Chains A and B, each alone.
Chain A
């Protein structure tokens, strides 16, 4: 079964509103989680690293005020897309792993966001 779970699986929101996506590690603690975005027919693009108890680290070109990341516990990271616009419509995916070199990295099922 899934060891990393995302919620919701899909969401439709109106332009200008904010939407929150959750990523949970189900049977392990993850001090670090990662958020990706994927547009149709493209590969996954890393957006940011979510660090438990500290600020997220964003990849170049990703707006930190647009994509708010909170990692308040060792099993939960949230991504909030603020003031969403149609161009933010995408497939958002998170990943997490048990701490340690060479450990398996698991991905969530993904969350489809459509902004209308």
Chain B
């Protein structure tokens, strides 16, 4: 699996869009970009995944650069409940290796 790099922490004001970057410069053509988040003391929650095209669902949007070397997860209107550790993973099978992720703090 390709290595991903994320900032260790970020702050975002409540109600604003949270944009979480991820670098995956060594990603291969058959690896998807997955985003998960983990709220304290819970199992990881699936957010979104994509291969080449930008994706949007009820939780978030995923913007993948044309060269696929980086991506951004966008939470359009952050709430306090979005406070969590967010993991970006580049993966081609079911076996996920977690990095340290980004700890997102939503500020009231």
CB contact list, B4-49 vs A, under 8 A: 30, 32, 34, 36, 38, 41-46, 49
Are B94 and A97 closer than 8 Å at their CB atoms?
Answer: yes
Count of residues in B whose CB is under 8 Å from the partner chain: 24
Are B36 and A107 closer than 8 Å at their CB atoms?
Answer: yes
Of the candidates B30, B45, B46, B101, the one whose C-beta lies within 8 Å of that of A43 is: B101
Count of residues in A whose CB is under 8 Å from the partner chain: 25
Contacts of B93 in A (CB 8 A): 101
Which residue of B has the minimal Cβ distance to A109?
B43
Contacts of A93 in B (CB 8 A): 43-44
Tell whether A104 is near chain B: CB-to-CB under 8 Å: yes
Are A32 and B94 closer than 8 Å at their CB atoms?
Answer: yes
Are B92 and A34 closer than 8 Å at their CB atoms?
Answer: no
**What 0/1 readout, one digit per residue, does chain A (32-54) give for beta carbons within 8 Å of chain B?**
10101000000111100100000
Are A107 and B32 closer than 8 Å at their CB atoms?
Answer: no
Tell whether B95 is near chain A: CB-to-CB under 8 Å: yes
Looking at chain A's contact residues, is the secondary structure mostly helix, strand, loop, or mixed? strand
**How many angstroms from the CA of A103 to the CA of B96 in the assembled complex?**
12
**What 0/1 readout, one digit per residue, does chain B (59-73) give for beta carbons within 8 Å of chain A?**
000000000000000
Contacts of B32 in A (CB 8 A): 102
**How many angstroms from the CA of A102 to the CA of B92 in the assembled complex?**
7
Apart from A95-B44, A102-B32, A109-B42, 19 more pairs, CB < 8 Å: A6-B43, A32-B94, A34-B94, A34-B96, A36-B98, A43-B99, A43-B100, A44-B44, A45-B98, A46-B98, A91-B41, A96-B94, A101-B92, A101-B93, A107-B36, A107-B43, A107-B45, A108-B43, A110-B42
Subset of 29 A-B contacts with CB under 8 Å: A34-B96, A43-B98, A43-B99, A43-B100, A43-B101, A44-B44, A45-B98, A46-B95, A46-B98, A91-B41, A93-B43, A95-B44, A95-B96, A101-B92, A101-B93, A102-B32, A102-B49, A103-B94, A104-B49, A105-B34, A105-B94, A105-B96, A106-B46, A107-B43, A107-B44, A107-B45, A109-B42, A110-B41, A110-B42
